[in-house]
Amino acid sequence: MLYAQSDDTRLGVWPVFTKRSQLSLLPRKSGIPTEQRGSQALGLAVHFGPALSFITTVLVFGRSESIVISAFLFLSVVNLLVIVWLEEHEPSVDLPTRTLDAWRKGLSLVFLKGVVAGAITAITVWTLVGALMSLITVAEPSAASGWMIAVAVLATDFAYYWIHRTLNHGHGKKPVQKWFRKIHVVHHSVEVLDFLRGNVSSFFDTSITGFQVSLGVIAALMDMDLTSLLITYVFVLQLQATHHANHTFNIGWLRFIFMDNHAHKMHHCPRGYMVNHGALFSLWDQWFGTYFEDWTLSSNYLQKHRIPLPVSRKAI
């Protein structure tokens, strides 16, 4: 049940979860502009439009690998142009002008490291795990139903939540934990947070350890064929495409199910390591007490000026 009489949604809207939040709210610092609240129709269109258009394309033209790849590339280019246009004409904060070098590096990072290398990782893991499974089962990979793909997307983000929270932002002293923090800290050293310049990250973090390994394992365990794996991969990419944009997209109450870019940009602020670890869904953060939003504060402004979030961890 949602809150009926309170508009304080900083810790979410599901009372059963907010009551056990691991966060304490601190006084807000004065003088900070409020979050950009644009058209909800525009926010929904940009956040969910590519995924819905992709579904429609696959249903109409079939789910061959060529259709999946072509549709994804076309929709990605369109979405990129829309987001960059909005950043130029309706920015959350003023940022340095993009140079040609920023375009080159940004596109290389997003499409070569993020999309191509990430796909190679997911397919490699899917192949290896599938080969191991063939030794103990006679099931053959097959086309997954829409429900199975939805489950795979949820499971991939659930795994990502825990990897991101416990390894990328955990405080463990073991070598593997230190290594995960080291490869992820590059992403949080970003000074200019927008679509092209906010995705800076290490190769391992971008292409391997983010969600690709988890996705490959999950797809193999669910006996998905290659096309189903690619469809799942596309959804995982599309539902987080707006995360670093210098324009905040208003997706209304759906932000309490899906991770919107206001909440993700809060994660990039000082003290943001405590909050909003999911990539696609905000459900996990609300469920496990790490969700935080505050529409009275501009996420891009906080990140740009390195102003800490008004939260702390509860004493246990």
pLDDT in tens, 217-242: 999 999 999 999 999 999 999 999 99
pLDDT at 201 over 90: no
Outline where DSSP puts E strands in 108-181: none
Quote the CA–CA distance of 265 and 236 in Å, as a whole number.
18
pTM of the model: 0.94
Chain centroid to CA 228 = 20
Beta strands in the chain (DSSP E): 23-25, 311-313
Dihedral pair phi/psi, residue 115, rounded to 5°: -90, -60
The sign of the torsion formed by the CA atoms of 276, 277, 280, 283 equals negative
Residue 225: name the closest of 141, 299, 283, 304 by CA: 141
In angstroms, the Cα distances linking 145 to 46, 60, 123, 176, 184 are 26, 16, 19, 36, 34
Question: Is the pLDDT confidence value at 316 over 60?
Answer: no
As given in the structure block, the two tokens for residue 307 are 């102003």
Radius of gyration of the chain (CA): 19
Q: Which residue has the tokens 């993020």?
A: 114
pLDDT category, 5, cuts 50, 70, 90? Answer: very low
Q: Tens of pLDDT along 58-82?
A: 999 999 999 999 999 999 999 999 9
Structural tokens at position 144: 């997954």
**pLDDT on residue 315:** 64
> What's the length of the chain?
316
Cα–Cα distance list, 89 to 34, 166, 249 (Å): 18, 38, 14
